[in-house]
Amino acid sequence: FWLGWWLEPLLSGDYPAAMRRNVGERLPSFSPEQRELLIGSIDLLGINHYSTHMVRDVADGERGDASSGWEADQHVVATFGAGWPQAASPWQRSYPAGLRGLLNWVAARYKGDIYVTENGWSCNSFTAAAAAADQEQLDYYTGYTEQVRLALVEDGVPVRGYFGWSLLDNFEWADGYSKRFGLYYVNYTTQQRTPKKAAAWWKETRSAC
């Protein structure tokens, strides 16, 4: 319902079996001509990944994660693991091994190049001094990039690129300017940029390559 909704039609020409089972006739059907256009039409796969969930099936009479919409159609309850570090965004926890698992899951189904197009940590630091000392963001990046390395080197997943989100603090959708993902803290009044700890780590890592 998250990745398969969009990826599976490009691989097999149809929606995932779980979606067909749960959603039924509300899902459109593809004609043979449409299937032919869909299958193999992808040149590379870009994955935006920020957090991992643990899921279980809903019990009889249980509502699950939502009362309506696609989230209800999943028929699951999604939770976070106990002790997973909490980001500034309520929907985000840090569990680096989840990204390695995702990359392997995708590679087992998709035989092409994979890029991690977004991966980053929303910070609670609202002053330049606090941002410069932000250890949580650094821990997130070191943990997640290590899992990407393991997926590439040990598991043979064809990861061809990794992009952190983001270079600068910016306008984050419905959260506006309240959540800060940038490697550089931005004073929105003066526009002054202050590098966070993770920015220095990225510089050192890149220089060593």
Q: Do 92 and 126 meet the contact criterion of CB atoms below 8 Å apart?
A: no
Q: What is the pLDDT of the chain when averaged over all its residues?
A: 94
Parts of the chain belonging to CATH 3.20.20.80: 43-51+91-208
| Lookup: tokens for 10 | 């490009």
Per CATH, the homologous superfamily of domain 43-51+91-208 is: Glycosidases (3.20.20.80)
> Residue 8 in 3-state DSSP?
helix
Q: Which residues contact 55 (CB under 8 A, 6 or more apart)?
A: 74, 76, 77, 78, 79
| Distance, CA of 165 to CA of 180 (rounded, Å) | 10
Please report the sign of the dihedral spanned by the C-alpha atoms of residue 89, residue 168, residue 133, residue 204.
positive
Which pLDDT does position 64 carry in this prediction?
67
Confidence at 209, pLDDT banded by 50, 70, 90: low
Kindly report the pTM of this predicted structure.
0.93
Here the tokens at position 7 are 């990826």
Q: Is the pLDDT of residue 71 over 80?
A: yes
What is the pLDDT averaged over residues 112-126? 94
Q: Percentage of the chain with pLDDT > 70?
A: 98
pLDDT of residue 123: 92
pLDDT tens, residue by residue, 135-172 = 999 999 999 999 999 999 999 999 999 999 999 999 99
> Contact, 114 vs 159, CB < 8 A?
yes
